[in-house]
A and B are shown apart, each in its own frame.
Chain A
């Protein structure tokens, strides 16, 4: 079996071609961001291996679940039931407030906020399990996942999709150094940017002046600016403020609301223009049979939602 370019003369040429090709790929991907399609294709080819690699971890989780005692399950069940009752009670007030809000906005001719569609995805590889800081999930372009899409957890914002294959996608957690989200302080409405620090339980808050109305414990919500993240989801809570830093801005640290080190399910979000006009409001949801969280993939028009580059 002979390889190509075996002669002694052509080997340096072949080597130079490959080196140039690698550098070219690097420049096209890292600087020009042209190769998302190629990466998606390679990810799709590698999906079977990724599934096999995720298998031992899933078996481990399943056995751990199966080995829990009946008492522990009963206790958890009771807690969940109590929690559900509480949430249902809150949901009733939420529904009436939401309708009132819509009517008031319509009366004022104000812009209605975007509606949100969601889908659950399972985590195949969590953030720090390999040298790759992203989270691998089992949904891809086939389910309508797109690069730049927002991903949430039950407790808060998780991050955004950075690469998407056919049946898998990689989510960059908001704690990564390359990730930033525009936020506002829930209490005072001050706007800033939350950036990752590379540590799984800390983020830094930028562009908040030293005189800004912020305090330790304040919750930061997504501001919806930039259009990548839906507005009003909790991102982090402030843990530390210091004005020692020179310059106009304070050095603020916060703790993400989402527990990023132990993620098993991720909620993917699609934003779409609200289509229900105030005159034809939907009936209140039936609380004893809540609709399943997993919705069918949204229409193609939703996927082509523009993603301004603000959030990256």
Chain B
């Protein structure tokens, strides 16, 4: 029980921290915005992949809704993106778990491109610029997450 509480706390805390990453302003002069990864998407995908019993599509949907409230997109946009991405990841979960980290990172980069594509459809002002940069940093962020969190989450891993 205590273990599960810690688990839930860990998940919530990590989501809050990644939300902070989404919101933190970067100095304009460096022009780093194209390199912003979809931090929250990557974090949610991490938990969906490794702890699908704790975080389901519902949590992904709610997280997306909160992200909507901070973005210029209409409500529901990121909720839709996160739901689609979670469904894809869940469908491919067993395959993904057999992948190496690099292959998983490529999957995440592809999801990042899907997110950019859906946003582009809904908000044309998003533009194509930054699609590849953000996909690349999404992949790198996945590697970093794996490095930091996998030793902690790996032993709990059950494939079912």
Contact = CB atoms under 8 A, between A and B. Distances in A.
Contact of B58 (A3, A23, A28): A3
Interface in B62-99: 64-66, 68-72, 74-77, 79-80, 83-84, 87, 90
B102 to A, nearest CB: 27
Contacts of B23: 46, 49-50, 53, 125, 130
B28 interface: yes
Contact of A23 (B24, B53, B80): B80
26 contacts: A1-B53, A3-B54, A18-B61, A18-B79, A19-B84, A21-B79, A25-B75, A25-B79, A26-B122, A39-B68, A39-B69, A42-B69, A46-B70, A49-B20, A49-B23, A50-B70, A53-B20, A128-B33, A129-B33, A130-B24, A130-B26, A130-B33, A131-B33, A177-B125, A178-B125, A261-B28
Nearest to B72: A132
Nearest to B3: A1
Interface residues of B, number: 44
A29 B25 contact: no
A129 B24 CA distance: 8
B107 to A, nearest CB: 19
Contacts of A23: 76, 80
A35 B76 CA distance: 11
B76 A29 contact: yes
A217 interface: no
A149 interface: no
Nearest to A41: B69
Contacts of A130: 22-26, 33, 36
Q: Is the interface of A mostly helix, strand, loop or mixed?
A: helix
A18 B87 CA distance: 11
The 8 residue pairs across chains A and B that have the minimum distance between CB atoms: A25-B76, A129-B25, A42-B69, A26-B76, A30-B74, A22-B80, A53-B23, A29-B75
A19 B60 CA distance: 12
Interface string A206-221: 0000000000000000
B40 to A, nearest CB: 12
B117 interface: no
A52 B25 CA distance: 11
A129 B122 contact: no
A14 B24 CA distance: 33
A54 interface: yes
Contacts of A52: 20
A45 B69 CA distance: 10
A54 B25 contact: yes
Given A22-B83, A42-B68, 6 more contacts: A15-B83, A18-B79, A24-B76, A25-B65, A46-B70, A53-B25
A126 to B, nearest CB: 7
Contacts of A134: 72
A57 interface: yes
Nearest to B52: A3
Interface string A129-156: 1111110000000000000000000000
Nearest to A30: B74
B97 to A, nearest CB: 18
A180 interface: no
B74 A26 contact: yes
A1 B70 contact: no
Contacts of B24: 53, 56, 130
Contacts of A22: 61, 64, 76-77, 79-80, 83
A29 B27 CA distance: 31
A261 B27 CA distance: 11
A56 B27 CA distance: 10
Interface string B102-126: 0000000000000000000010011
Nearest to B79: A22
B69 to A, nearest CB: 3
Contacts of B70: 43, 46, 50, 132
